[in-house]
């Protein structure tokens, strides 16, 4: 069987969990001896031969380690999706309008599909590729399975912040447009019950078969039973993710810095637009260290040093990859009680939950992880 996967990003241009899901799907289909190819974007400034617009089966151009073909191309727009955040808000709005009805992307993908003739297409994130693609697939009468990874179908930013319930007229228009463009694929997969309900509440995919499938296998071990710290001298916390305000990293630094705990350390892995702000918040606390971007093999080393991974999101997360990675490494998780996170973190078994943005609740959780710092924390609560 010939399988096509479509996602806005794919190695070597990856930055989130959706790309990991697509990579895993590719490996699975290749292992099952299917003919697999990927359609994805690339930044506008690249012209490397092995990132060519149409990879050649004869020369191997565009192939990756998994032996699948990857079609990388730049859909004409103001800027590539990879660098969208560089644009001011008004130009991002224009970019999204062009992206939604991107005819260049439509005809480029149509040509690839006509050449390849896949039996089934698995579609993931379409931001950067255009929302005419579902219509194209239906028109070509190819079996179509859609996976939703976030709330971008309803909110253009893909973000739903905690406490942000009201939807203005622009969001309502955007949701209505997306509802029509996506229409009803044969099957829609959601990585969390929360995300499935969110789209159902907004009347999406009324005629589709809908299924909840977690992105990765979830370990079942009770990680808090007889939990021991890896060092008797400190509790080692780990944060992995974007350095952005909505990810809660600034809130986390402010909380830990205000406690002035000598018995704790925090390692921060990742990059983002708020890196300088975060570094300034932590400048007086030598126990908070920034490690920048780290390759996967190095991240596993840091998991081996960590007692707890903290996921302090201030936005509704669907199914954070870092939680799966942390639990698979045997490291319990302290996370915001938002979105699909409670479906992964079982309080008292593999981690703890706290109300998003609530400093006192986070402090209360930290008090549970090691009795040695309980006295310090109680004294610090008054100051915080």
pLDDT-derived band at 55, boundaries 50, 70, 90:
very low
**130 has pLDDT over 70:** yes
* The domains spanning 2-212 and 235-383 adopt the same CATH topology: yes
Distance CA 314, CA 160 (A): 9
Residue range 10-34: average pLDDT? Answer: 90
Please indicate whether residue 65 or residue 286 has the higher confidence score (pLDDT): 286
Burial bucket for residue 169 (CB in 10 Å: 0-12, 13-18, 19+): exposed
Q: In what order do the strands lie in the sheet with 120-123?
A: 69-73, 35-41, 2-6, 120-123, 143-147, 187-190, 209-212
Question: 174 or 262: which carries more pLDDT confidence?
Answer: 174
- State the Cα torsion 153-324-72-106 to the nearest 10°: -20
239 and 269 Cβ atoms separated by less than 8 Å: yes
pLDDT category, 167, cuts 50, 70, 90? confident
Band of residue 376 on the pLDDT scale cut at 50, 70, 90: low
pLDDT at 371 over 70: no
Highest mean pLDDT: which of 83-97, 228-242, 330-344?
330-344
CA distance 381 to 225: 27
Residue 226 pLDDT class (50, 70, 90 cuts): confident
Residues 6+ apart with CB under 8 A from 303: 238, 309, 325, 326, 329, 330, 331
Which pLDDT does position 372 carry in this prediction? 59
* CATH architecture under which domain 2-212 falls: 3-Layer(aba) Sandwich (3.40)
Q: Which pLDDT score, from 0 to 100, does residue 379 have?
A: 55
Burial of 295 (0-12, 13-18, 19+ CB in 10 A): exposed
DSSP for 293-350 reads S--HHHHHHHHHH-SEEEE--SB--S--HHHHHHHHTT--EEEES-TTGGGT--BTTT
Q: Is the pLDDT of residue 205 over 60?
A: yes
Q: Say if residue 249's pLDDT is above 90.
A: yes
**Distance, CA of 157 to CA of 315 (rounded, Å):** 11
Q: What is the pTM of this model?
A: 0.87
For the chain, domain boundaries: 2-212, 235-383
Give the β-pairing of 187-190 and 143-147.
Answer: parallel
Nearest CA to 128 out of 259, 18, 239, 243 is that of 18
Q: Report the C-alpha gap between 214 and 196 in whole angstroms.
A: 12
What local confidence, expressed as pLDDT, does residue 67 receive?
A: 45
pLDDT, residue 68, reads 55
pLDDT for 148: 97
Structure tokens at 330: 């045997």
Domain 235-383 is of which CATH architecture? 3-Layer(aba) Sandwich (3.40)
| pLDDT score for 198 | 96
Q: Is 212 helix (H, G, I), strand (E, B) or coil?
A: strand
Report pLDDT digits (tens) over 287-310. 899 999 888 889 999 999 999 999
């Amino acid at each position: 069987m010939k399988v096509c996967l479509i996602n806005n990003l794919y190695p070597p241009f990856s930055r989130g969990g959706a790309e990991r899901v697509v990579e895993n799907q590719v490996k699975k289909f290749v292992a099952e001896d299917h003919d697999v190819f990927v359609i994805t974007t690339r930044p506008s400034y690249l012209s490397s031969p092995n990132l060519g617009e149409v990879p050649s089966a004869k020369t191997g151009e565009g192939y990756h380690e998994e032996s699948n073909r990857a079609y990388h191309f730049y859909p004409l727009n103001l800027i590539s999706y990879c660098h969208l955040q560089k644009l001011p808000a008004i130009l991002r709005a224009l970019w999204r309008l062009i992206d939604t009805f991107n005819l260049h992307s439509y005809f480029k993908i149509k040509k690839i599909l006509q050449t390849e003739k896949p039996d089934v297409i698995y579609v993931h994130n379409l931001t950067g590729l255009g929302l005419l693609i579902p219509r194209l697939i239906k028109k070509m009468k190819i079996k179509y399975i859609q996976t939703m990874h976030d709330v971008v179908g309803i909110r253009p930013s893909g973000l739903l912040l905690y406490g942000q319930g009201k939807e203005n007229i622009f969001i309502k228009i955007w949701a209505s447009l997306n509802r029509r463009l996506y229409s009803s694929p044969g099957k829609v997969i959601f990585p969390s019950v929360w995300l499935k309900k969110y789209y159902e509440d907004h009347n999406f995919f009324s005629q589709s078969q809908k299924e909840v499938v977690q992105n990765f296998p979830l370990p079942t071990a009770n990680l808090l039973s007889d939990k021991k710290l890896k060092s008797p001298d400190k509790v080692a916390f780990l944060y992995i993710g974007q350095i952005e305000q909505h990810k809660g990293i600034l809130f986390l630094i402010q909380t830990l810095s205000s406690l002035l705990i000598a018995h704790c350390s925090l390692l921060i892995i990742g990059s983002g637009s708020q890196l300088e702000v975060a570094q300034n918040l932590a400048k007086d606390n030598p126990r908070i260290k920034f490690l920048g971007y780290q390759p996967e093999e190095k991240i596993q080393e840091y998991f081996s040093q960590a007692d707890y991974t903290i996921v302090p999101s201030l936005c509704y997360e669907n199914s954070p990859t870092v939680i799966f990675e942390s639990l698979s490494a045997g490291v319990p998780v302290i996370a915001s009680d938002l979105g699909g996170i409670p479906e992964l973190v079982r309080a008292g078994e593999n981690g703890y939950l706290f109300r998003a943005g609530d400093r006192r609740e986070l402090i209360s959780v930290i008090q549970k992880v090691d009795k040695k710092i309980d006295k310090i924390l109680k004294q610090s609560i008054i100051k915080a």
